[in-house]
Structure 1
Amino acid sequence: MEQVAMFKLDEKETWRRVEERLESARLYKQFGFIRRESKITPSYSPRFHGNTFAISKPSEDIAIWNVDREEQLQREYEQVIKAVSRLSHIQRQIVEKRYLQDEDVTDIYVYTDLHMSERNYYYAKAKALYRLAFALRLETYEDAT
């Protein structure tokens, strides 16, 4: 009988995706949503393709994109805040200070501010980010092939 192979977590990609989502949440909290605007002046450029008979509606496309993107960012921000609130106290402090504050701070600032050793800080940070990855469904797995 063949043994079932477990999926192996791609740690680097998972870590990158969680940090990217946290950075996106921080920027949304800090700046809000910046809407796209349509161009008023025409840009003349040669178009080398056949007729597609598609009607271009740039103002409508931009309006739809603005509404959809704002809803998506709001939903992602709320998911991040909800997931962070469910972490343990020290993990929540690490994530909030390192990723969700208004200014970009370094790890050394955070672990000295929290009166932690470097080793304990990185252990708690790794646990927090992996818990967030699973809570936000951002984990990625390596191919088994």
Structure 2
Amino acid sequence: MLASLPELDRRLTQVTIENMLEKYRIFKTVTFEAKEAGITYSYTERFHGATNSVTDQTAAIATHNVDVPAARRAYCALIDSVVERLTLREQQLVRERYLRREESYDYTIYNHVFDPPVSKDTYVKIRSKAFYKMALALADLQLLSLAALEKTSSGARKEK
């Protein structure tokens, strides 16, 4: 038996997915600045006894310089794989509107990128379907929680 698909809050889903795509764009466009080890030691006043802990600043920096870019690449690869699963129109919308280096606007996409051009309402439907599919896929990859995006009744909203 197939589980029913959850009903998600369209606006909240859009905001969440747009934030994730903005993070993707930042990772792709902003270069990672590697940390460097300091070569001079500074005096650190200690008012307590020995902690018997050993720190290795160089190892911590080296680990950071390897792990952070790898995590950024992995995040971008996951987003790319999710976008590749969408229909061609949905892929075109997401790539042109959210994944390119330079920002573009919705009206530019539905008037000039889509061939033939579509209406604003059709564009919103395509985007909503794409974001819904992306939310399901990203939840499957454990990058977001569907429970946070599910629609709540109007009574539950008023209590918040």
Q: Deviation digits for residues 5-53 of structure 1, max 9, x if unmatched?
A: x977465554444223322322333345442333456566766766533
Q: Which residue of 2 aligns with 1:121?
A: 123
Q: Which runs of 5+ in 2 are unaligned?
A: none
Query: Which residues in structure 2 correspond to 1:25-40 (within 5 Å)?
Result: 25-31=24-30, 33-40=32-39
Distance 1:70 1:109, change over 3 A: same
Letter in structure 2 aligned against 1:131:
K
| Aligned mates of 2:52, 2:7 — CA distance in 1 | 48
| Aligned mates of 1:25, 1:31 — CA distance in 2 | 10
The size of the alignment, in residue pairs, is: 140
Q: Which runs of 5+ in 1 are unaligned?
A: 1-5
Greater shift in the superposed pair: 117-126 or 39-48: 39-48
1:91–1:125 CA contact under 8 A, matched in 2: yes
* Aligned partner of 1:141 among 129, 141, 147: 147
The alpha carbon displacement at 1:64 in A equals 0.8
SS at match of 1:102: coil
For CA contacts below 8 A with separation 6 or more, give which structure has more relative contact order: 1
Letter in structure 2 aligned against 1:101:
R
Overall identity of the aligned pairs, in % = 31
In the superposition, the TM-score normalised over structure 2's length comes to 0.68
Query: Which residues in structure 2 correspond to 1:6-21 (within 5 Å)?
Result: 9=8, 14-21=13-20
| Aligned mates of 1:140, 1:13 — CA distance in 2 | 11
In the superposition, the TM-score normalised over structure 1's length comes to 0.74
| Aligned mates of 1:36, 1:16 — CA distance in 2 | 33
The RMSD of aligned alpha carbons is 3.2
